[in-house]
Amino acid sequence: MAIKKKQDFEGERALAEVLFNSIGDGAVTTDEYGRITRINPAAQAIIGYSEKEAIGQWLPRIFEAYDDNNEPISLIERPVTRAFVSGNVISERTIYKHKSGKLVPIAMTISPIMVKNVPIGCIEIFRDITQEYEVDKMKSDFISLASHQLRTPLSAIKTYAHMLLDGFMGQLTKPQIKSLKTIVSASNRMNETISTLLNITRIESGSVVVTKKPVSVASVIEEVVNEHRLTANDKNISCRIDRPKDSIKIISDGVVLKEIFSNLVSNAIKYTPVGGNVTIALKTTGSLVVVSIKDTGVGIPEESRDNVFTKFFRADNVIRQETSGIGLGLYLVKGLINELGGDVWFDSKVNEGSIFYVSLPLLPHTINTHTVKK
Ligand code: ADP
């Protein structure tokens, strides 16, 4: 084997240095303690610190990271820490603070440098995404504004249609009642679509506000089922809630939970033919509360399994039956469940039915209402 000369090593080193410095994106490397060993000119420009100021410094000190709410990200949650701990490559967006104090949104990939399965440092490649961030924000602001503007006239339509239906403006004929019911149900659907769009905008812009406090899961489910009772009755679908006697309280956001269950219950009713059954069951397993929403509906084809939680996806069997929908409900459900630290999954068989499961972290203990009353 040819032995490399000292000059060869130096030549390769110089070449590596030139390559590193020519990368158009920011690049920074650290040793095993997270101290900066190299920083290229693009990284210096993004972060505002010179090579002299950065080398030897602890990366999280020079690269201060913030979340979408401009809150500092704790060390344990920093991608650099997670990359070290897991040994995995991590790609995500974050916000860095420029030396001047200005916050800069960036997209980064951080990879541990492994030698014989031991991390000896890491390399981070990142770029300034201020422009993409602003375009995304403009898009979200536009959807948000358009949705709010649609909501106001829609409320008027709904209110007056309900007043007419309730006989406040005189007796109605059967065809008039039928037409008004169609107006009410169409405006309800439109209202749901607007809510979904607004919620998705919030999730994608990281501005979902989760207000956690003790909430009874069964009460939320009862409310949701009551709101869908009319639609279920119209299709002669029985809706049953199977819940334990004791109240299961979790620390969560009731409004977000309602949105999640409302989507799942409404799907169960929508995709179940006339005369079917929908059963919502509630139980605790270990440190989780698990809610299942079971229907005797059209089911989800095997080949669609991996796609149902993706944006705008609708399976072939439901498109063929021309049921209404835009394929955003489950995408929203998944996003909201993530916000609450839970999980969602399903089992299904075509023409037999589906069962969707939602798991949420429980309180340290379940509150037994009977015990509390004593
Ligand atoms: P939408 O109902 O508006 O189409 P969703 O995101 O709620 O959108 O659902 C995505 C797709 O998943 C649906 O179009 C349908 O193909 C499938 N799906 C969801 N829930 C059920 C269900 N309970 N039974 C059968 N298919 C379902």
Q: What pLDDT digit, counting tens, does each position of 230-281 carry? A: 889 999 999 999 988 888 889 899 999 999 999 999 999 999 999 999 999 9
* Span 8-62, pLDDT tens digits: 777 888 888 888 888 889 999 999 899 999 999 999 999 999 999 999 999 999 9
Q: Are residues 227 and 357 in the same domain?
A: yes
Q: Please list the residues that pair with 38 across neighbouring strands.
A: 29
Would residue 275 be called left, alpha or beta, if left means φ above 0 and alpha means ψ between -120 and 50 degrees?
Answer: left
More confident: 69 or 254: 254
Q: Are residues 194 and 221 in the same domain?
A: no
Range of the domain at 164: 130-207
Confidence of residue 86 (pLDDT cuts 50, 70, 90): confident
Ligand 1 center to 332 CA (angstroms): 12
Give the pocket of ligand 1 (CB within 6 Å): 263, 267-268, 271, 295, 297-300, 308, 313-315, 318, 325-331, 354
- Residue 332: predicted pLDDT: 94
* Span 97-125, pLDDT tens digits: 999 999 999 999 999 998 888 889 999 99
Q: Are residues 222 and 161 in the same domain?
A: no
Last residue of a domain, one of 128, 144, 164: 128
Strands 238-242 and 277-285: parallel
- Residue 5: predicted pLDDT: 67
Residue type, 22: S
* Domains of the chain: total: 3
Tokens representing 115? 């030698």
Q: What is the pTM of this model?
A: 0.66
List the CATH number of the domain containing 173: 1.10.287
Distances (CA, A) of 110 to 26, 34, 79, 81, 338: 11, 12, 7, 10, 23
Ligand 1 center to 325 CA (angstroms): 8
Confidence of residue 369 (pLDDT cuts 50, 70, 90): very low
